[in-house]
Amino acid sequence: MRLQGKRAIVTGGGSGFGEGIAMRFAAEGARVMVADINLEGAERVAAACGGIAQAVDVADGDSVAAMAARAEAEFGAVDVLVNNAGITHLPAPMEEVDEADFDRVFAVNCKSVYLTARALVPVMKARGSGAILNIASTAGVSPRPRLNWYNASKGWMNTATRAMAIELAPAGVRVNALNPVAGDTPLLASFMGEDTPEMRAKFLSTIPLGRFSTPEDLANAALFLCSEEASMITGVCMEVDGGRCI
């Protein structure tokens, strides 16, 4: 029960890595808000973990503010924030990615971190404690070709994590990130462009441990970084990648 009594928000919690994190947090004693643009997915996960579901568009300031207000009303305060919601553009030469796709990737992957910080950091600072976890990607550490702007957005997330960590440390708020390798989640087909055995084999050939990451892998790492066991850890961008970035 390493998160006993903690109150957490997990964005993008309705599927994939976010679902795994929400389920594990709840199993470790946290009260969890499962926030997702797909309310049906959020409700399914919330029902499974005894949490509460919240519809949110993390790229929209009003929607994020409403999420924060609901969390405050339900929980009283938020101890842990996991910025997990994210999207990608389809693989393409960098100059051929549509401007609308570029804008959406940076709005969901980057602007969202600003919006959740604007909504939730003041309360964490006032309380003198809190843990924020940003889910970035190995793409931000060791970029793959034809995913240029997604790579860049995740590199931004890693830099933002370090910048947030150094600024918020005096207030008792820790900020870390995870860099997962591709996982067998709803985003996998978008990363690959097509979900075929040949494309999966190509991706797997770049991962020394020979498998995709799983929601459970991310949940285990997230649990550690958001628990008191990691009370001296901030500004870390941890690869959960089977050795891909070596």
124 close to 69: Cβ distance less than 8 angstroms: no
What CA–CA distances, in Å, run from 18 to 70, 96, 132, 192, 197? Answer: 19, 30, 14, 20, 25
Tokens of residue 85, six digits:
């919601």
Q: In what order do the strands lie in the sheet with 173-180?
A: 52-55, 31-36, 7-11, 80-83, 130-135, 173-180, 237-240
- Residues 145 and 157: their CA atoms lie apart, in Å, by 19
- Residues 225 and 174: their CA atoms lie apart, in Å, by 9
- Residues 232 and 216: their CA atoms lie apart, in Å, by 24
Q: Pseudo-torsion of CA 74, 75, 81, 84, nearest 10°? A: -30
User: Catalytic residue at 150?
Assistant: yes
DSSP 53: E
Nearest residue to 109 (alpha-carbon basis) of 187, 53, 170:
187
Nearest residue to 68 (alpha-carbon basis) of 80, 78, 79, 83:
78
- Catalytic choice (150, 219, 221, 223): 150
Catalytic residues: 150
